[in-house]
Structure 1
Amino acid sequence: MDRTGFAVVGAQNFAAEYISRIRSLRDEGARLTGVVISERKAEAERARELRADGFRIYDSYEELLRTGHGQVDVICLPVSIPAHADLSVAGMAHGYDVLLEKPPAPTVGELDAIRRTSDRTGNFCSIGFQHLHAPSIRRLKRTLLDGTLGELESIACKGCWPRSDAYYDRNPWAGKLVHEGDIVLDGPVNNAFAHFLQNMLFLAGDRIHGTASLAEITAERYRANPEIQAADIACVHATTECEVDLGLYVTHASAERRDPHILVTGTDGTAEWHYDGTTTIQTHDGQRAEFDNEGVDLGKAVFRATARYQQGVSDELYCTPDNTRAFVVAVDGSFESSGSIVPLPDEAVHTETADDGAVHHVADGIEDLLNEAFTRRALLSEIGLPWAESRPGVDVTEYTRFTPFA
């Protein structure tokens, strides 16, 4: 069996998940051939463990680029958002294929640099939007393309994932819009809920691997946690060039966890997709279908698909810079629309302290407010909240440059 050699940049946090997933797929065509550990003192024990297991440890990314050929086919980049473009471009320019963690890049200019490098070098860049590898999402896409729901009208998603201060303390760029001069654009839209914005764009696309092109975006961002730069509440409305309406209603400032839920509406029926992959199709003439992710581990599916493509077993990647460009346009356009983040007034926020001491800033009643916005397909400024502020829409039909901080 051919095996694709993967090298991972980093060994802690999410990089550790990458290492574990690759090692688990040894019998399915993937092998771990190296790990970059640049903080040798801080990660000395981890380096010893990996070396003892037979894996090469690189002292730097530059060393991997210089000396990895012959062992490394794909470089995995579970790195900070601001580093995505530079490291991807460098990897492909040195002759490696790349598996890049989502989001692909904070700005459309950086994403386009990745696309150009891939085109110029012939090396691929696979993007780690794992839900695009989900059997449920791909079957739902086929259902939409075959016309079961008629003409597509709208897709909307809501979700509440509480995050304490510890979430924002996990690395230097978490909760930041800009870090050390680099654009980050962290927040629920561009990080934790990014998968579901990408899902909606994918489902709205008119080709099996394609995403929808966007025409206009309007967004509002709010902040309950005064310790962060980024928003922790966001609503995004977008219209595709085919006049499909998209709506995203998400927060990290809720008291309760409510997993993402996507509702697809067509002229002949609806589809409901849930975070666990459970999907229900209901047509107006009484047809009903249910399906799920068939037990597939989505995290591993990303590596499996990348290895199969690298080996020539599969002829198309599920997730690439080309079919994630609309996602980056959506994020950038939403920031241009929302402008300055609106801080919630003190009377609309309270704090909760967990047993482990973690502090969580909660926007009062935000779960129900976002549910109302989702149900009405309204922005928060449109449902009568005294602290909400409306924002103008942005035309993104020929969007090539992110400019809100200019």
Structure 2
Amino acid sequence: MITHVSHPTASASGTEDTGGQEHAPARVALVGAHGFGLVHLRNLARLAAQGALVLDAVADPREPEPGSVPEGTPSYASLEDLLAGRPAPDIAIVATPIQMHGPLAAAALAAGARLYLEKPPVPSIAAYRELLADAESRGAAVQVGFQSLGSHALPAIEQLLASGEIGALRAVGAIGVWTRDLAYYARSRWAGKRLMDGVEVVDGVVTNPLAHAVATALRIAGARREEDVASVDVDLYHAHGIDADDTSVVRLVTAGGIPVTCALTLCATETAEPWVTVYGTEGEAQLFYTQDRLIVRTEAGEREERYGRTDLTENLLDHLSHGTGLLSSLANTGAFMRVLEAVRTAPEVRAIAPGYVDWVGEGQAARPIVRGIEATLERAVKAQATFAELGVPWAAAVGPAGLLTLPDGQPVAELCDGAHLAPALSPRPYLHPVRTLAGTTVTDHLPLDHVWHLGLGLALQDVSGTNLWGGRTYTREAGRYVWRADHGRVATESMDGPRGRILQRLRWEAHDGAALLAEARTLTAERALGPADDGAWRLTLHSRLTAARDVILGGPGSNGNAGGGYGGFFLRLASCTGARVFTADAEGETAVHGHAAPWIAWSARFDGGPAGRDGQGAEAGVVIAAAPETPDDPWFVRLAGYPGIGSALAWERAVELPAGEALERTFRVWFVDGPVDPERAAALVAAPDATAPDSAAPEAGA
């Protein structure tokens, strides 16, 4: 359709009144004829051929490339010269370095033009508010160049959610894996800068190359304006020798409570199409936004759909002539500007240590690859966590809530309070990393396969209808795992203790914040005793759970999931090879899982330890004694799918705990350097206690 633009006036509402008139094709001036300006020139040539517009002039300090501009098109060295030399254009397209957007936009608006402003519109939220107020006072249209917002896949996603096909929206995640070489940052002085000559630039992966991923994720989550964003966290790094970020995580929560996590890098093994995943309670939709390609996954199967896209310049023309709504208006860029401001005001970007970066290519084609970055990005999105919170070795360290040491002061484990965890992970305290005396890490947390698995601790999937395990909930009614807004948390009320011991008072809270349980937990570390004590230390975890009201303690097993009776003590082990799991009279996952035994042992070669003789990690093991209060509780074991051991509190039947009554469990766990066999495991368990495990346990609620 050929669209002509009238010369509108501002109405009282600040919108543009076309009066239903159509006149000559719009006169367009392009400011910035190089770089991305060349993309605009090709698009303008297409639209000019349809009679929709006329390229009135270009402005750039450098002469346009030969053949890029139609012969006879006036060319000026600056927008100031252009505006002084001819009537103001109907539309000014600004495709210049970021730091010039604000002044050029203001000049174009003052001359009476409407704007197409490349992303990001300006490099600070203060400049954004100033520009928005200026445009609104003039009733002038401003389109921002987030091209992905023209995708017809976006209304299709809205329909998916409205129809219930993928359920209710519970989260949005974006992943971008691109590569950039040295030449990319050498192309201009401002590339990769946060500041240049004292002027804000903010040219990082979040705000420029992969800004479309952020903008698309925000739009899907319903966040358009500043007030649509409740909180923003950023975690910024670079492998290139630049000021800005090239590998980052953005985590935000919308005003409607939807978590949005964007994990982005320009240091991938190879460039791939970036995507945004829409997580619903009954399925998910994955949008490859540069291709307008949507993959929908539900229990019914998977299907792929492709969509068209509305060009943003055409959308602006239609807005001016027919009042069509802008797809990427300046006003609806406020949520993105909240993200940009968080990036702008963040501390200095942290360099990724060279030992975690491989360089490939020669000369200006050389580029860095951050090892394992693809899996790390996916893990960050699924866990809604920053690199620092994941414990990525090159990321900033997150200080533990406490440090568990032996009586002589040697640290053996860190205590995480879990306060930063996403609500869907059922935030709770846990130990991680837990190490052997030689330094081998034997625990994992936030793993990609089950991001709600958290080191060593206590968790239950059903406490009177509240999920305190994380992830989906198994319900008898559905006969399967379902996503529900039923996640609670375990909050730390106090923590103290002498060296070698941590005393915690904890509050188990329902999904509505009400108190369910008061817990007194004691963690004691000491060197192992007895003939098998070489290279081993022992953790004693004692817990006293007191019901704040009548509660029922259950889980998947008590809710009908045969063989899935996990819940209670749980140890998520670190990645390992050659693993054996055994008791005194059985070995292997099938033989041990679901059965009671006085102790259970795990022996393997762990990836997170000092290299063994063959460089394949260190041999280590874990031995767990059954709780003396309930020695017949079955063991929960996973070896083939992931490495984990638990002691089931409600294997087949839930436990009823009346208000004021208490339930106690004591677990002794040995962490051993070197391989473990049945004889060594039995000797460790048979060794005498050095302390009474509950002698210093605080009274619940005291």
The TM-score, its normalising length taken from structure 1, stands at 0.85
1:244 to 245, 258, 261: 258
- Compared with structure 1, are the counterparts of its residues 130 and 236 closer, same or farther at alpha carbon in structure 2 (3 Å cutoff)? same
Q: Which residue number corresponds to residue 33 of structure 2?
A: 11
1:219 to 234, 238, 263: 234
Q: Which residue number corresponds to residue 90 of structure 1?
A: 107
Opposite residue 72 of structure 2, the aligned amino acid is G
Paired with 1:287 and 1:316, the residues of 2 have a C-alpha distance of: 35
Paired with 1:212 and 1:148, the residues of 2 have a C-alpha distance of: 29
- Compared with structure 1, are the counterparts of its residues 249 and 54 closer, same or farther at alpha carbon in structure 2 (3 Å cutoff)? same
Matched, 1:58 2:67: no
Higher RCO structure, 1 or 2 (CA under 8 Å, sep 6+):
1
Paired with 1:210 and 1:203, the residues of 2 have a C-alpha distance of: 13
Q: Which residue number corresponds to residue 87 of structure 2?
A: 69
The C-alpha deviation readout for 1:67-117, integer Å capped at 9, x for no partner, is 4426x2101100110111111111111111011001111111111111111
Paired with 1:28 and 1:364, the residues of 2 have a C-alpha distance of: 51
Matched, 1:350 2:368: no
Paired with 2:276 and 2:256, the residues of 1 have a C-alpha distance of: 19
The residue matched to 1:259 in structure 2 has which SS?
A: coil
Matched, 1:254 2:268: yes
Matched, 1:329 2:338: yes
Paired with 1:149 and 1:113, the residues of 2 have a C-alpha distance of: 40
Paired with 1:224 and 1:60, the residues of 2 have a C-alpha distance of: 35
Given that 1:205 and 1:211 are in contact with CA atoms closer than 8 Å, whether structure 2 keeps it comes out as no
Deviation at residue 376 of structure 1 after TM alignment = 2.8
The C-alpha deviation readout for 1:222-270, integer Å capped at 9, x for no partner, is 1111x21111110111011111000011101122212212111123332
The residue matched to 1:25 in structure 2 has which SS?
A: helix
The residue matched to 2:176 in structure 1 has which SS?
A: strand
The C-alpha deviation readout for 1:46-83, integer Å capped at 9, x for no partner, is 4x9747x231223421122234426x210110011011
Q: How does 1:45-194 map to 2 (within 5 A)?
A: 46=66, 50=69, 53-69=71-87, 72-145=89-162, 148-194=165-211
Opposite residue 364 of structure 1, the aligned amino acid is R
Given that 2:194 and 2:344 are in contact with CA atoms closer than 8 Å, whether structure 1 keeps it comes out as no
- Compared with structure 1, are the counterparts of its residues 387 and 44 closer, same or farther at alpha carbon in structure 2 (3 Å cutoff)? closer
Paired with 1:129 and 1:179, the residues of 2 have a C-alpha distance of: 24
Deviation at residue 310 of structure 1 after TM alignment = 2.0
Paired with 2:252 and 2:51, the residues of 1 have a C-alpha distance of: 40
The residue matched to 1:373 in structure 2 has which SS?
A: helix
Paired with 2:297 and 2:384, the residues of 1 have a C-alpha distance of: 20
Given that 2:143 and 2:316 are in contact with CA atoms closer than 8 Å, whether structure 1 keeps it comes out as yes
The C-alpha deviation readout for 1:6-39, integer Å capped at 9, x for no partner, is 1101222211221111011120512211111333
Paired with 1:247 and 1:262, the residues of 2 have a C-alpha distance of: 10
The residue matched to 1:258 in structure 2 has which SS?
A: coil
Given that 2:225 and 2:335 are in contact with CA atoms closer than 8 Å, whether structure 1 keeps it comes out as no
Paired with 1:82 and 1:257, the residues of 2 have a C-alpha distance of: 27
Instruction: Report the structure, 1 or 2, having the larger strand content.
Output: 2
Q: Which residue number corresponds to residue 310 of structure 1?
A: 320
- Compared with structure 1, are the counterparts of its residues 111 and 391 closer, same or farther at alpha carbon in structure 2 (3 Å cutoff)? farther
The residue matched to 1:222 in structure 2 has which SS?
A: strand
Deviation at residue 212 of structure 1 after TM alignment = 7.5
Q: Which residue number corresponds to residue 30 of structure 1?
A: 53
Opposite residue 32 of structure 2, the aligned amino acid is G
Deviation at residue 160 of structure 1 after TM alignment = 0.9
Given that 1:224 and 1:363 are in contact with CA atoms closer than 8 Å, whether structure 2 keeps it comes out as yes
Q: How does 1:190-205 map to 2 (within 5 A)?
A: 190-205=207-222
Opposite residue 281 of structure 1, the aligned amino acid is V
Paired with 1:322 and 1:4, the residues of 2 have a C-alpha distance of: 23
Given that 2:195 and 2:201 are in contact with CA atoms closer than 8 Å, whether structure 1 keeps it comes out as yes
- Compared with structure 1, are the counterparts of its residues 242 and 49 closer, same or farther at alpha carbon in structure 2 (3 Å cutoff)? closer
Paired with 2:208 and 2:76, the residues of 1 have a C-alpha distance of: 28
Deviation at residue 273 of structure 1 after TM alignment = 0.8
- Compared with structure 1, are the counterparts of its residues 272 and 133 closer, same or farther at alpha carbon in structure 2 (3 Å cutoff)? same
Which is further off, 239-248 or 61-70?
Answer: 61-70
- Compared with structure 1, are the counterparts of its residues 230 and 66 closer, same or farther at alpha carbon in structure 2 (3 Å cutoff)? same
Identity %: 26
Paired with 2:56 and 2:147, the residues of 1 have a C-alpha distance of: 22
Given that 2:92 and 2:115 are in contact with CA atoms closer than 8 Å, whether structure 1 keeps it comes out as yes
Instruction: Report the structure, 1 or 2, having the larger helix content.
Output: 1
Given that 1:38 and 1:60 are in contact with CA atoms closer than 8 Å, whether structure 2 keeps it comes out as yes
Count of residues in Structure 1 that have an aligned counterpart in Structure 2: 377
Paired with 2:182 and 2:357, the residues of 1 have a C-alpha distance of: 15
Deviation at residue 210 of structure 1 after TM alignment = 6.9
Given that 2:146 and 2:328 are in contact with CA atoms closer than 8 Å, whether structure 1 keeps it comes out as yes
Given that 1:220 and 1:391 are in contact with CA atoms closer than 8 Å, whether structure 2 keeps it comes out as no
Paired with 1:102 and 1:88, the residues of 2 have a C-alpha distance of: 12
Deviation at residue 145 of structure 1 after TM alignment = 4.9
The residue matched to 2:332 in structure 1 has which SS?
A: coil
Opposite residue 69 of structure 1, the aligned amino acid is P
Paired with 2:214 and 2:358, the residues of 1 have a C-alpha distance of: 28
Given that 1:202 and 1:210 are in contact with CA atoms closer than 8 Å, whether structure 2 keeps it comes out as no
Paired with 2:149 and 2:312, the residues of 1 have a C-alpha distance of: 9
Opposite residue 249 of structure 1, the aligned amino acid is A
2:246 to 202, 227, 232: 232
Paired with 1:257 and 1:216, the residues of 2 have a C-alpha distance of: 30
Opposite residue 383 of structure 2, the aligned amino acid is R
Matched, 1:363 2:370: yes
Deviation at residue 327 of structure 1 after TM alignment = 0.1
- Compared with structure 1, are the counterparts of its residues 44 and 23 closer, same or farther at alpha carbon in structure 2 (3 Å cutoff)? closer
Which is further off, 100-109 or 338-347?
Answer: 338-347
- Compared with structure 1, are the counterparts of its residues 129 and 247 closer, same or farther at alpha carbon in structure 2 (3 Å cutoff)? same
How well do the aligned residues superpose, as a CA RMSD in angstroms? 2.6
Deviation at residue 290 of structure 1 after TM alignment = 4.1
Opposite residue 43 of structure 2, the aligned amino acid is R
Matched, 1:378 2:385: yes
Show structure 1 runs of 4+ deviating over 6 A.
209-212, 391-394
Opposite residue 32 of structure 1, the aligned amino acid is L
Paired with 1:65 and 1:244, the residues of 2 have a C-alpha distance of: 45
